[in-house]
Amino acid sequence: MSTITEIWLENRRGGSALGIDESAPRVTVIADGPAPDGFVLELLHDDDSVERAEVDEARLVAWPFRALEPRAGGRLRARVGANGPWSSPLRVERGIADGWRVDFVSPSLSASPETRAAHLLRAEFDIAARGIAVADIVRARAYVSAHGVYELELNGDRVSDERLAPGWTSYRHRLRHQTFDVSGLLRGGANVLGAWLADGWYRGHLGFDGGLWDIYGTDVALLLQLDVVTRDGRRHEIPLTWRHHASPILAAGLYEGESYDARLLPRGWSEPGFDDIAWMDAAVLDRSRFAAAIEPPTAPPVRETERLRPVDVSRREGGRIRLDFGQNISGVLAIRPRAPRGTVIRLHHAEVIEDGELGTRPLRGATSVDSYVCSGEAPEEYTPRFTIHGFRYAEIEGWVGELRTGDVEALVIHTDMQRTGRFASSSPELDRLHENVVWSMRDNFVDVPTDCPQRDERMGWTGDIQVFAPTALRLYAAHGVLTGWLRDVAAEQHDDGHVPQFVPWVECGFPNHPTAAWGDAAVIVPWEMYRNDGDATILREQYDSMRAWVDLVDRLTGRTGHWSAGFQLGDWLDPAAPPERPGDSRTDRYLVATAYHARTARIMAQVAAVLGREADAAHYEEVAARAAAAFRDEYVAPSGRVVSDTPTSIALALTFDLLASDEQRRCAGDRLLELVAQDGFHISTGFVGTPIICDALMAAGGRDHAYRLLMQRELPSWLYSVSMGATTIWERWDSMLPDGSINPGDMTSFNHYALGAVADFMHRVVAGLVPDAPGWRHIRFAPQPGGGLQHASASYDSVHGPAAIAWRRDGSTITIRATVPAGSSGTVVLPATGEEVAVGPGVHEIVAPCWSAADDITSSERTDPAPPLHRPTMAERKAS
């Protein structure tokens, strides 16, 4: 008998259903087996009435119950068929909607860059005085948001484990709020709500090249409405009067770190009975003064997801203690000092060690030092609240006595998405590479999909997530984060359709011009989301934004299709580009721009077709055809030779399907194989070429080339960083040079996910798990063994249930085990013959002939490319 293993609403897998926006959210259920009789959904409303519905579908089932009123809900559960066991219930509750009755309260209306302290706010209230007995409380909710970042306490207890709430959105347009269940924390009589409040992204230091303060406003402020519902069905909006005081956090900056003086904590400040005579009344800021829509989250919150203990501890000369956590993370330390009152402890962070010291130069303006002044009152524990660092190593300065196990831990902090995709193979290095991609995704999904977690940047760079989106959506249920981020993309898009290069946009001097591969994120990211879960809602929501971008580029080409002027980042970070000029790629930047225009316009046509907008579909087909023709006219010889003559240019032509004939494709493919071989199977592509190079090689019939590139260990290559001990994906192939020194470029991060987009290739081609229809309705199991691998496997928790593949070679046979989820069908493609075997839901094992691991090197060669004559050294590359 099948049981229900998961229930979620809309595309918020793994997210909370408390405080949602929709009055009729769609429901998806996952069963662990077939569901021939369909499902039963049941909602036990707050008023004890029960609604039941029999549904055939498991995915995105239209809400079959009465619409939810704001702040009302029920317990949703499901079962398979008429007799299956009920799932555990999910509390579904609509949010506050437009029921806000409170205003912002502020402890600080302005601050100078030097005085960025955090503040305490407290509001004491008596529920008995309002005629409420605790025993009569059915539920109590705190609806909370802030200008800044906050943490909430009720009667001395933390209300939630969320960090850096309310998160970062385009605050001018959208301000997120949280809904907390505080029913269990209220006491009879007097209660106290307490909030810690700091600058965060709202008015804190943000941006590169010096950055800015007060980007969204000069105030920090809290918005909190407390609602209590009693057994008689009445809702009480509890009036709150807020007072504020200095906090022990004397300085807090996301980049800078936090300074905390534990001696200054007013004990009991968030509990009843505390004497707040010395506290000041908070200023009240009329909510209507602020234009931003106050919205519930679309994604799970940022929280601590793991704790790491150091794998190595050493005392440094001068007394500092160095800790190696064995993993580059985004997060903070937790320390438990035992030291006399007034002892100052400083926590320094860095991703790497250079010349025996913490390599802090790549952090640029992000100081990343926390400091703590001990209270001397045991037991002491400190974890910074309002900062976050990208680090693997830390040094503790000022520690008194021995450092015992458990005295220091590293807290891994990021958006707490549900893991969906896994990969494993017979190569430990490949597995480590994959693991590094996973970590770079974790470390860079801190509310916004960012470029890096460590230096004075951490921006939602559009190009980075554009290339990484397929991988992101494989590894984690990232739809919620991306849905919210895309709303900001649309909100910050200029009237003419221009999409800023990073969103939320911070005006810190970066040329704000339409940029191919970056602005294209507005179209490609929602399209990838649709392909992943089959839900066209995101396309509908983003349609105007997507269309505006394509129309803008069409205009910029003068409707010729050839994007030939203006600012471009091109194949950013081509390994041949000098460290200080990362945009100096060997590939013509307008070739990149025109290729992307063709691709994005084609996607736009597909989007329009999915949404039934036939006229638009025809129009964008035409725009795409024009761009593809312009690409060929301008950059492709009739023979198929592509101008620039670089792997990136040919990879674009092949994977974006821009060539006119099989003959052209063959010529271009042969040349690609030649170039890659000539380069000694080293990477010679940047941000644009790297995510597609292996696919292009496969399209050119060069499976072996793709594997040699993938399994290459010498610089530049994916496994070079692995061989250097990397635990995340680097921004540059040579972020760390072979002699252990840090790349001299001003822009050198050890934690950028963009070049990790190859993980998608590992799932699709190495393991062979290929979604073949939107939402994984149909799956191809098409392993392409190579690289001497003996086995590989991948799994993906699709919206129909788990899909998986595992293959193992034994001499000249291969055993393929394919798992098809209940709502899907599959085709197993046998590697040696290309024969296709149709399979239905369930697990299938097929044994077939295959080239052996020993044959890998030659089996896929269609041409015999010239061997490399001379592999340029790094110095030569730079000089060129």
Residue type present at position 13: R
Taking the complex as a whole, the smallest distance from the CB of residue 146 to ligand BGC amounts, in Å, to: 28
Q: Contact at 8 Å (CB) between 423 and 434?
A: yes
Number of residues that bind ligand BGC (CB under 6 A): 10
Per CB under 6 A, 362 contacts ligand BGC: no
Taking the complex as a whole, the smallest distance from the CB of residue 501 to ligand BGC amounts, in Å, to: 6
**Binding residue for ligand BGC, selected from 238, 332, 569, 653, defined by CB under 6 A:** 569
When the beta carbons of 118 and 525 are compared against ligand BGC, the nearer one is: 525
Q: Which residue has the tokens 């960083």?
A: 721
Applying the rule CB under 6 A, the residues between 728 and 747 that interact with ligand BGC are 747
Strand-pair partners of 847: 815
Stretch that binds ligand BGC, among 186-194, 411-419, 449-457, 482-490 (CB under 6 A): 449-457
Q: Contact at 8 Å (CB) between 494 and 760?
A: no
Question: For residue 286, what are its two tokens?
Answer: 């009329």
Question: For residue 606, what are its two tokens?
Answer: 């597909």
DSSP assignment, residue 498?
A: P
Distance CA 92, CA 43 (A): 9
- Distance set, CA 807 to CA 427, 791, 813, 836, 849 (Å): 14, 5, 10, 16, 12
Strand-pair partners of 314: 322
What element of type H or E holds 608? helix 589-610
Distance CA 22, CA 9 (A): 10
Q: Which residue has the tokens 């802090």?
A: 360
Report CA torsion sign: 757, 759, 765, 769: negative
Among the listed residues 258, 457, 492, 528, the single catalytic one is 457
When the beta carbons of 542 and 751 are compared against ligand BGC, the nearer one is: 751
Taking the complex as a whole, the smallest distance from the CB of residue 467 to ligand BGC amounts, in Å, to: 9
Taking the complex as a whole, the smallest distance from the CB of residue 168 to ligand BGC amounts, in Å, to: 16
Is 663 marked active-site? Answer: no
Taking the complex as a whole, the smallest distance from the CB of residue 536 to ligand BGC amounts, in Å, to: 29
Three-class secondary structure of residue 165 per DSSP: strand
Per CB under 6 A, 753 contacts ligand BGC: no
**Binding residue for ligand BGC, selected from 180, 461, 563, 750, defined by CB under 6 A:** 461
Stretch that binds ligand BGC, among 360-368, 412-420, 460-468, 845-853 (CB under 6 A): 460-468
CB-count burial class (<10 Å; 0-12, 13-18, 19+) for 71 = buried
Per CB under 6 A, 688 contacts ligand BGC: no
CB count within 10 Å of CB 656 equals 22
When the beta carbons of 464 and 535 are compared against ligand BGC, the nearer one is: 464
Taking the complex as a whole, the smallest distance from the CB of residue 205 to ligand BGC amounts, in Å, to: 17
**Binding residue for ligand BGC, selected from 563, 572, 631, 851, defined by CB under 6 A:** 572
Distance CA 829, CA 23 (A): 44
Applying the rule CB under 6 A, the residues between 615 and 634 that interact with ligand BGC are none
Q: Contact at 8 Å (CB) between 329 and 454?
A: no
Per CB under 6 A, 153 contacts ligand BGC: no
Taking the complex as a whole, the smallest distance from the CB of residue 368 to ligand BGC amounts, in Å, to: 17
Applying the rule CB under 6 A, the residues between 212 and 241 that interact with ligand BGC are none
Per CB under 6 A, 17 contacts ligand BGC: no
Q: What's phi and psi for 191, nearest 5 deg?
A: -140, 160
Distance CA 673, CA 726 (A): 29
Question: Chain centroid to CA 621: how far?
Answer: 31
Q: Contact at 8 Å (CB) between 185 and 159?
A: yes
Distance CA 251, CA 117 (A): 4
Helix axes 690-699, 647-655, angle to 10 degrees: 70
Indicate the residue whose CB is closest to ligand BGC. Answer: 451
Per CB under 6 A, 463 contacts ligand BGC: yes
When the beta carbons of 752 and 800 are compared against ligand BGC, the nearer one is: 752
Distance CA 501, CA 513 (A): 8
When the beta carbons of 729 and 779 are compared against ligand BGC, the nearer one is: 729
Taking the complex as a whole, the smallest distance from the CB of residue 731 to ligand BGC amounts, in Å, to: 6
Taking the complex as a whole, the smallest distance from the CB of residue 456 to ligand BGC amounts, in Å, to: 10
When the beta carbons of 457 and 574 are compared against ligand BGC, the nearer one is: 457
Helices (H) and strands (E) in the chain, counts: 16, 43
DSSP assignment, residue 248?
A: S
Strand-pair partners of 348: 369, 395
When the beta carbons of 572 and 796 are compared against ligand BGC, the nearer one is: 572
Among the listed residues 256, 271, 674, 731, the single catalytic one is 731
Q: Contact at 8 Å (CB) between 717 and 576?
A: no
When the beta carbons of 700 and 742 are compared against ligand BGC, the nearer one is: 742
Per CB under 6 A, 499 contacts ligand BGC: no
Binding pattern to ligand BGC, positions 520-559, x when CB under 6 A? ----------------------------------------
Per CB under 6 A, 443 contacts ligand BGC: no
Per CB under 6 A, 752 contacts ligand BGC: yes
Residue type present at position 646: T
Q: Contact at 8 Å (CB) between 780 and 761?
A: no
Closest C-alpha among 154, 158, 159, 160 to residue 125: 154
Closest C-alpha among 618, 516, 615, 608 to residue 567: 516
Distance CA 670, CA 333 (A): 52
Per CB under 6 A, 396 contacts ligand BGC: no
Taking the complex as a whole, the smallest distance from the CB of residue 747 to ligand BGC amounts, in Å, to: 5
| DSSP string for residues in 782-800 | -----TT-SEEEEEEEEBT
Per CB under 6 A, 63 contacts ligand BGC: no
Per CB under 6 A, 761 contacts ligand BGC: no
What element of type H or E holds 483? helix 479-492
**Binding residue for ligand BGC, selected from 457, 492, 528, 695, defined by CB under 6 A:** 457
When the beta carbons of 508 and 643 are compared against ligand BGC, the nearer one is: 508
When the beta carbons of 479 and 752 are compared against ligand BGC, the nearer one is: 752
Per CB under 6 A, 485 contacts ligand BGC: no
When the beta carbons of 514 and 771 are compared against ligand BGC, the nearer one is: 514
Q: Which residue has the tokens 């349609």?
A: 543
- Distance set, CA 536 to CA 84, 601, 774 (Å): 31, 18, 9
Taking the complex as a whole, the smallest distance from the CB of residue 112 to ligand BGC amounts, in Å, to: 28
Taking the complex as a whole, the smallest distance from the CB of residue 754 to ligand BGC amounts, in Å, to: 6
Distance CA 492, CA 495 (A): 9
Q: Which residues contact 581 (CB under 8 A, 6 or more apart)?
A: none
Is 528 marked active-site? Answer: no
Stretch that binds ligand BGC, among 1-9, 283-291, 459-467, 702-710 (CB under 6 A): 459-467
Binding pattern to ligand BGC, positions 363-382, x when CB under 6 A? --------------------
Distance CA 343, CA 378 (A): 13
Residue type present at position 287: R
Stretch that binds ligand BGC, among 28-36, 403-411, 461-469, 838-846 (CB under 6 A): 461-469
Distance CA 258, CA 263 (A): 15
Taking the complex as a whole, the smallest distance from the CB of residue 463 to ligand BGC amounts, in Å, to: 5
**Binding residue for ligand BGC, selected from 6, 93, 464, 554, defined by CB under 6 A:** 464
When the beta carbons of 398 and 500 are compared against ligand BGC, the nearer one is: 500
Stretch that binds ligand BGC, among 118-126, 296-304, 456-464, 477-485 (CB under 6 A): 456-464
When the beta carbons of 87 and 440 are compared against ligand BGC, the nearer one is: 440
**Binding residue for ligand BGC, selected from 111, 335, 452, 762, defined by CB under 6 A:** 452
Which residues lie near ligand BGC (CB under 6 A)?
451-452, 457, 461, 463-464, 569, 572, 747, 752
Catalytic residues: 457, 731
